[in-house]
């Protein structure tokens, strides 16, 4: 659906984004995570050419975005919705007028616009606020208006620019749920950028990690989140788990025996594996850290345990045979 | 009563008030008609804006600054030949309007530019992302979003015009300023001076009040 080929961007002599290749599939939720200034905003804006790459090619549904003329660009932009951290609603227009705006730009007839606006407002759950002005709404409601506006012209792609970063956790969850629904029901391809791993974990299928303008890691969210390879990714994951890296290292250093991290995915998460393996191999285990959560819809568990006594090798093999990923922790 | 306002010819005051209102109304409409597009152009061609054109911006900005830095009383005199060509006379209400417009349109243009700069960049970006053309952004986003600021600017401009019309009185434009100078100042008729100044003050107060109310009604923030 969206393809980057050697895309890069220079600002006043410095390279904000180093040449990268990336492919986003139709119907997936693709996340880009990075600190501020990592280049994720530039990457996102090169998709609808709000920012023009200094070089390389961006294709959306086969069309070369980098080569379009003004008219072609406007047509393309009507097929790509976009929502923003600060919502960017028109303060002088009501909720209904805001949602109607892209349809008016496209020159649709009045009656068709009114019907479409009503449908959209109902879809995002703010039909009751149609005649209010944005200043009268809460952050979550404003973002719903933003989403309705972005969906007005029935786009195939939705770009989310830190769409939940200005919202409280509860509102963030409800907006992410809405995005998930839209992705499933409308087969909408969603590209979102964020600095929060939690957002990636909850809605994304795949993720790319940007660090100082470099694409350092990408893959399925489960792989990247559970087995981060790059230092930056690792730190994002620790942040999402609210773990202090130094404290954790100190705790592990005090443990006796072999320290391993077990990662369970899917149904294995709920199996009473630990006790069974311990009894069979005669090892003692001491749980040092653990969590059970979900990546999008897949449950996972991660346990860090210290094994001592008995047949540790057999125990480790038994875990691996049960489909559990075993990692030695130094 | 008669003792206090012995020198005041009320019919003349009425005529002068009417002249001032006509000068004010005519030049305000013309200043907005010229200043608004000029201000929009200044904004659009400015740095990092939709139609960034540094040369065009520099030229427009320079012309605006020259006209604004010229003392109005000088402008009145410099404009005389041009005014005669334009409206046939440099005297009276008609003769006053061209210099008034040339004096205030650039001022209003700057206020328009500033008001447009106050519009959230994110909103402009969102409109671009929706596929809006520059024309659609100007008429559908920039002007409506900046409306309170534009009205406030028009109010400031109208009030500046009131004092300019008084100055235009010096070169024979008529109006309240003319009365104040000819009778109040040159003939030491303090009562005429007081009456004209009070009327000008009331006019300014009304303009400000009207402008403020309009701004409050249009503000949705």
Rounded distance, CA A181 to CA A287, Å?
37
How far B57 CA lies from chain A's nearest CA (Å)? 21
What is the complex's ipTM, to 2 decimals?
0.85
Q: Which of B72, B105, B95, B102 is nearest to B175 (CA)?
A: B95
Closest CB from A50, A86, A149 relative to B128: A50
Nearest CA to B64 out of B125, B11, B113 is that of B113
What is the rounded CA–CA span in Å between residue A15 and residue B97?
55
Contact B150, B115 (CB under 8 A): yes
Q: Is B141 on the interface with A (CB under 8 A)?
A: yes
Phi and psi (nearest 5°) for A311? -100, 90
Give pLDDT tens digits along chain A (330 positions): 999 999 999 988 899 999 999 999 999 999 999 998 899 999 999 999 999 999 999 999 988 999 999 999 999 999 999 999 999 999 999 999 999 999 999 999 999 999 999 999 999 999 999 999 999 999 999 999 999 999 999 999 999 999 999 999 999 999 999 999 999 999 999 999 999 999 999 999 999 999 999 999 999 999 998 889 999 998 898 888 887 778 877 877 787 888 899 998 887 777 788 888 888 888 888 888 888 888 888 889 888 888 888 888 888 898 888 888 998 886
A189 and A205 in contact (C-beta within 8 Å)? Answer: no
Domain spanning B11-218, CATH class: mainly alpha
Residues 6+ apart with CB under 8 A from B188: none
Shortest Cα distance, chain A CAs vs residue B142, angstroms: 10
The burial class, CB within 10 Å (0-12 / 13-18 / 19+), for A215 is buried
Residue A207 has a pLDDT of: 95
pLDDT value at residue A160: 97
Per-residue pLDDT reduced to its tens digit, B30-41: 999 999 999 999
Q: What are phi and psi for residue A152, nearest 5 degrees? A: -55, -45
The closest alpha carbon to A2, from A56, A45, A63, belongs to A63
Minimum-distance CB partner of B125 among A50, A80, A90: A50
Full set of structural domains in chain A with CATH: 2-239 (3.40.50.300), 246-328 (3.30.70.260)
Coil, strand or helix: which one is A112? helix
């Amino acid at each position: 659906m969206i393809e980057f080929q050697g895309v890069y961007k220079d600002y006043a002599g410095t390279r904000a984004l180093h040449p990268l290749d990336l492919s986003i599939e139709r119907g997936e939720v693709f996340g880009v995570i990075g600190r501020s200034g990592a280049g994720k905003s530039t990457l996102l804006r090169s998709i609808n050419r709000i920012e023009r790459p200094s070089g390389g090619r961006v294709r959306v549904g086969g069309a070369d975005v980098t080569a379009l003329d003004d008219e072609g660009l406007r047509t393309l932009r009507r097929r790509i919705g976009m929502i923003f951290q600060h919502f960017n609603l028109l303060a002088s227009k009501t909720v209904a007028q805001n949602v109607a705006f892209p349809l008016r730009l496209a020159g649709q007839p009045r009656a068709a616009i009114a019907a479409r606006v009503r449908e959209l407002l109902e879809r995002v759950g703010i039909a009751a606020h149609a005649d209010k002005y944005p200043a009268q709404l809460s952050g979550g409601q404003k973002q719903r208006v933003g989403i309705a506006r972005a969906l007005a012209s029935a786009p195939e792609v939705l770009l989310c620019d830190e769409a939940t970063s200005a919202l409280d956790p509860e509102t963030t969850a409800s907006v992410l749920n809405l995005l998930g629904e839209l992705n499933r029901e409308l087969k909408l391809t969603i590209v979102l950028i964020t600095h929060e791993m939690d957002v990636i974990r909850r809605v994304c299928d795949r993720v790319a990690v940007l660090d100082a303008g470099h694409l350092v890691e990408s893959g399925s969210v489960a792989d990247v989140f559970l087995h981060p390879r790059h230092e930056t990714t690792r730190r994002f994951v620790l942040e999402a788990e609210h773990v202090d890296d130094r404290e954790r290292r100190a705790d592990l250093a005090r443990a006796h025996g072999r320290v391993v991290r077990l990662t369970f995915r899917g149904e294995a998460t709920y199996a009473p594996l630990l006790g069974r393996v311990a009894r069979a191999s005669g090892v003692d285990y001491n749980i040092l850290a653990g969590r059970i959560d979900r990546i999008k819809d897949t449950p996972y568990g991660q346990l860090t345990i210290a094994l001592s006594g008995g047949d540790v090798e057999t125990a480790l093999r038994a875990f691996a045979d049960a489909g559990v990923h075993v990692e030695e922790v130094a | 009563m008669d003792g206090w306002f012995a020198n005041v010819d009320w019919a003349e005051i009425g005529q002068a008030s009417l002249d001032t209102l006509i000068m004010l109304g005519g030049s305000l409409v013309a200043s907005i008609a010229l200043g608004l597009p000029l201000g929009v152009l200044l904004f659009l061609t400015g740095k990092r804006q939709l139609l960034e054109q540094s040369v065009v911006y520099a030229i427009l900005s320079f012309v605006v600054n020259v006209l604004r830095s010229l003392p109005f009383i000088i402008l009145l005199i410099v404009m005389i030949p041009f005014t005669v060509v334009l409206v046939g006379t440099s005297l009276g209400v008609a003769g006053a309007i061209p210099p008034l417009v040339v004096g205030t349109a650039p001022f209003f243009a700057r206020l328009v530019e500033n008001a447009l700069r106050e519009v959230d960049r994110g909103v402009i970006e969102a409109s671009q992302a929706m596929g809006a053309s520059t024309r659609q952004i100007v008429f559908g986003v920039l002007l409506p979003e900046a409306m309170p600021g534009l009205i406030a600017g028009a109010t400031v401009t109208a009030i500046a015009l009131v004092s300019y019309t008084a100055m235009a009185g010096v070169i024979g434009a008529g109006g309240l300023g003319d009365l104040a100078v000819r009778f109040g100042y040159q003939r030491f008729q303090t009562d005429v001076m007081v009456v004209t100044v009070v009327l000008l003050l009331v006019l300014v107060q009304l303009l400000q009040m009207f402008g403020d109310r309009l701004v409050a009604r249009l503000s949705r923030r």
